[in-house]
Structure 1
Amino acid sequence: MGRLAKRDAARIISFLEERLATHENPRELGDALKGHALGGYWRYRVGDYRIICDIQDQRLVVLVIEIGHRREVYR
């Protein structure tokens, strides 16, 4: 997260730790992605940034795949 402004990085970390990690079902907070490249992943919105994740139920893990600005993250 070195390329993000400190404020944006803090918002993303806060979302991951305080909302996503403590929520019983992380799918309720995000949107399923479709398509060839990102199908099966989940998207979370934090301001102008998007967090792309793989939810691994069998391991109780939400693996962050990508964090980027909304105009760049889907490319």
Structure 2
Amino acid sequence: MGYRVMIPDIVNKKILKFDRNTRKLLYNYIKKNLKDTDSPKLPGKALTGNLKGLWRYRIMDYRLIVDIQDEELIIVAIDFVHRSKIYL
């Protein structure tokens, strides 16, 4: 059994503001690379500094920021934004 992906309502509302193609890109990425995976850290990169403990995934020009909870096998989406605005 692999990891489950959770997208809180506040993040989902933000995602719904993107155009249809961007949303499809995100959901396809999650389905292909994160949902039911045994190693979610492999395609991602650990963040440092004040975002330490979180992971990021590059999806074209966008970044998906997640909190990977290993003990519960859950990936919680924290944010999804264009790469130019993510680290401000």
Which range, TM-score by smaller chain?
over 0.9
Please state how far the C-alpha of 1:22 moved relative to its aligned partner: 3.3
| 1:50 corresponds to | 63
For residues 21 and 46 of structure 1, the distance between their equivalents in structure 2, rounded to whole angstroms, comes to 15
Q: State the Cα RMSD in Å.
A: 0.9
Using CA pairs under 8 Å that are at least 6 residues apart, name the structure with larger relative contact order, 1 or 2: 2
Check if 1:11 corresponds to 2:16: no
**TM-score of the two chains, using structure 2 as the length reference:** 0.79
**TM-score of the two chains, using structure 1 as the length reference:** 0.92
Q: 1:2 aligns with which of 16, 25, 28?
A: 16
| 1:55 aligned partner, one-letter code | I
| Identity percentage of aligned residues | 34
What are the ranges of 5 or more consecutive residues in structure 1 without an aligned counterpart?
Answer: none
Give the number of aligned pairs: 74
